[in-house]
Amino acid sequence: MSRLGLADPVREARLLARIIETISAGLDLDEIMQGIASLITETTDTDVCFVHLLDDDGQRLVLRGATPPFQRLAGQVELKIGEGVSGWVAAHGKPAVIVTDKLADDRYKYIPALRGEEFISMASVPILSKPRHLVGVLNVHTRRRREFTAADVELLRSVAGLMAGAIENARLHQRLAEREEAMERFAERIVLAQEAERRRLAGEIHDGISQRVVSLSFHLSAAADAVTTAPDVAAREITEAQLLAGAALDEARFAIAGLHPPVLDDLGLAASLESLARSFPQLEVKADAQPGRLPAHVETAVYRIAQEALQNVAKHAQARSASVRLLRRGDTITLEVEDDGKGFIPAELAGRAGRGGYGLEGMRERAELLGGTLELQSGLGHGTLLRLRFPASALSA
């Protein structure tokens, strides 16, 4: 039996300094975990180190860092909270030390891929950020029997404390990078959509409004020519001109509403959703929207998601009715668009995501920019439910 030797002040200082250096070198979480695991075993004369991190749901520990040859298992080994020694440490927020005979310890769980039979002693400490928020679990193992003193465990806890800050910073950086990437994708799609919208609007003006204006001009010219010699003819031409002017005005209003619904500015999101529901005569659409103003960009994003969802229902669902619901519970705002159509298998739609302008991918990107999520539930013969959720507290960000 030999001592672990972690409590040597010189080695402690060297280990902590090198860990700080590793943390400062970058923000890639996997690289940080691998680097720290190697430093710990190298400096402490232990044989292997495992770093398990809590997943986003807070329900499982996932192996994210390990010394060779176990680094290839990163992301593949998972433990429930309370499962195994690491799960026990996570659940209780306290260190655990096993000097020998792990199989006799009720907390131990054998994982073949980690070859626990090769290691005799182990120490496990929680990775906690302030104020005692669980981030993960740090384990060290030795092939020979070792005694882990209170000072040894305290040093490992200090290492874990440094790791906690690095992990949270790396995760924050990753989330910011993902959001920035989503915004870049969205900006690209906005440009493409704007060009498509310009082409559509140009076509509508050329084929609709401009043609009616040309016809209007002809009728007014004919009326002008006949106003003194044939008043009845002039009256008919003026009547036709009035009809054409009205049709042109309606088409202009429709085009403007397609670009930005005026009711959104005038009356807010709730009234706009009710107006949107009435714009699908082929469907019986019921709107139930709680009143209340949101920031303009938020109202536009929510409105466009509802608009795209209802357009999909009208085009593809073969539905008789649909509903639009907007509600707020606590800090969460939810938009639901549901129909009684033929439904589909969502997995089959995944391969087609991103096609056709503002489709499902565009709606998801709008949801991400709101800091929210977009869910799609459907099944053959069971209709479809689209649900947008986003936090109200993030609207000012």
Dmax over CA atoms of the chain, in Å, equals: 123
Q: Is 149 in contact with 7 (CB distance < 8 Å)?
A: yes
Beta-sheet strand order (sheet of 96-98) = 78-80, 60-66, 48-54, 133-142, 121-129, 96-98
What is the reported pLDDT for 193?
65
**What is the pLDDT, as a whole number, of residue 1?**
41
User: In order of start, what are the domains of the chain with their CATH numbers?
Assistant: 2-174 (3.30.450.40), 261-397 (3.30.565.10)
The pLDDT profile of the chain, 397 residues, written as one tens digit per residue, is 444 455 566 676 777 777 777 767 665 777 777 888 888 888 788 999 999 999 878 889 999 889 989 989 988 999 999 999 999 999 999 999 999 999 999 999 999 999 999 999 999 999 998 777 899 999 999 999 998 988 889 888 888 888 887 777 777 777 777 777 877 777 777 677 667 667 767 776 777 777 878 888 888 898 888 888 888 988 988 998 888 888 888 777 666 666 666 778 778 899 999 988 998 888 999 999 987 888 888 888 899 899 989 989 998 899 999 999 999 988 899 999 999 999 988 777 655 544 443 478 878 888 888 889 999 999 898 899 999 999 987 555 4
pLDDT reported for residue 298: 87
DSSP 8-state secondary structure symbol assigned to residue 319: -
Sign of CA dihedral 74, 76, 79, 85: negative
DSSP 72: G
Give the model confidence (pLDDT) of 52-85 as tens digits.
999 878 889 999 889 989 989 988 999 999 999 9
Half-sphere exposure of 106 (CA within 13 A, CB side): 1
Q: Hey, what's the torsion of the CAs at 269, 271, 275, 278, to 10 degrees? A: 120
pTM over cut 0.85: no
Best CA proximity match to 302, nearest among 281, 329, 271, 278? 271
